[in-house]
Structure 1
Amino acid sequence: MKKVISILVLSFLFFTCEGPQGPPGRDGFDGGLIVSSAFEIEIDFNAANNYEYFESYGFTVYPSDVVMVYISWETDNGQDIWRALPQTTFFNEGALIYNFDFTQDNVRFFLDGDIDFSLLGSEWTQNQVFRVVVIPAENVDGLDLNNYNQVIETLNIQAFKSE
């Protein structure tokens, strides 16, 4: 009898207790996945812009969000191949690294490495196409951020707006 009363009391407490309300979250859509923002941009790197380029998002990026940048590396049978930054290429004169960093306000694309950038041909510095994906922190767990296709599929990104 003591067990039955204990179970009833615990059940009553379990179903009637309520804690304080937590902070409001961001709105999602069916399934709870938070919508990601993404855009594509073409950049020319040169001495005039110090081989770097800053781009504002044009939408809200939260402190907990993660930003990933992918570069159009090559084309195979008409299919673009995207690689996550940073990407390194080695020349006899040194290494070239395509890299990025980000804040809540903008993303910076830049060339890095120990090569003299002025020695690079235009195929390495001009018309470089990047895709930027802002990933809400709620969606990062278990996601291979270096796998472009997995990121795009998981976040259900249908198109990239051009900047």
Structure 2
Amino acid sequence: MKKITLLFVFIGMITLQSCTVNEVQDNVDNDTISEVFEYTNVDLTSGNGYSALLTFPYATYTSDMVLVYRLVDYGSAGDVWKLLPETYYFDDGTLDFGYDNDFTRYDAQVNLFGYDLPGLSNAYKLDQVIRVVVIPAAFGNKTSNKIDFEDYNSVKEHFNLDAAKVTKIKL
């Protein structure tokens, strides 16, 4: 009886070892998407220190890439967006004014800097339109050498940013 039991155990061990499960590994993150927040009526005046805090609708991840663009022109050919920082110079090559930004997981801050900000045309200070593009790190790290981040249209096309899904926020 012991020999028959031992034989069944041996056959069972051989049979169970031959069973394998082939699991398909899906290494593509299909639910991670890039997002765009558009802020309108952004005023950069002496009253706010020529600075505007753009609060995100929700916190982003610390590893996300955040790009900040300013609408500089619009027309029948489409909108023209410039990546910040952005600098303007006098004809003699000296600094006139510019825009820069910094960001956290919760917000982005846009600053106007220069030598004669009170004398600067209101077209550069009032009713600015700012777009914040949040790119998950998995996308940004894999494509950073394949895309020109200064060209908003290239970023929009590369990351499939849908204009209809832009979150609009009025300040």
Give the TM interval when normalised to the shorter protein: 0.7 to 0.9
The residue aligned with 1:117 is 117
The residue aligned with 2:128 is 128
Contact 2:83 2:151 (8 Å CA) reproduced = yes
CA distance in 1, matches of 2:154, 2:95: 32
Offset of 1:162 from its aligned partner?
A: 1.2
The residue aligned with 1:40 is 38
Letter in 1 for 2:126: Q
Offset of 1:121 from its aligned partner?
A: 1.3
- TM-score, scaled relative to structure 2: 0.71
Letter in 1 for 2:119: L
Letter in 1 for 2:89: F
Letter in 2 for 1:161: T
1:103 partnered with 2:114: no
Structure-to-structure mapping, 1:2-81, within 5 angstroms? 28-29=29-30, 34-42=32-40, 43-81=42-80
Per the alignment, do residues 150 and 34 of structure 1 end up closer, same or farther by CA in structure 2, a change over 3 Å counting? Answer: farther
Offset of 1:83 from its aligned partner?
A: 1.2
Offset of 1:148 from its aligned partner?
A: 0.8
Offset of 1:77 from its aligned partner?
A: 3.1
Q: How many residues align?
A: 136
Q: Percent identity?
A: 31
- Rg (Cα) greater in structure: 2
The residue aligned with 1:144 is 148
Offset of 1:139 from its aligned partner?
A: 1.0
Name stretches of at least 5 consecutive residues in structure 1 with no aligned partner.
1-14, 17-24
The residue aligned with 1:4 is none
CA distance in 2, matches of 1:112, 1:120: 11
CA distance in 1, matches of 2:95, 2:33: 40
Letter in 2 for 1:109: V
- TM-score, scaled relative to structure 1: 0.74
Name stretches of at least 5 consecutive residues in structure 2 with no aligned partner.
1-19, 22-26
Secondary structure (helix, strand or coil) at the match of 2:59 reads: coil
Contact 2:87 2:95 (8 Å CA) reproduced = no
CA RMSD of the aligned region, Å? Answer: 2.4
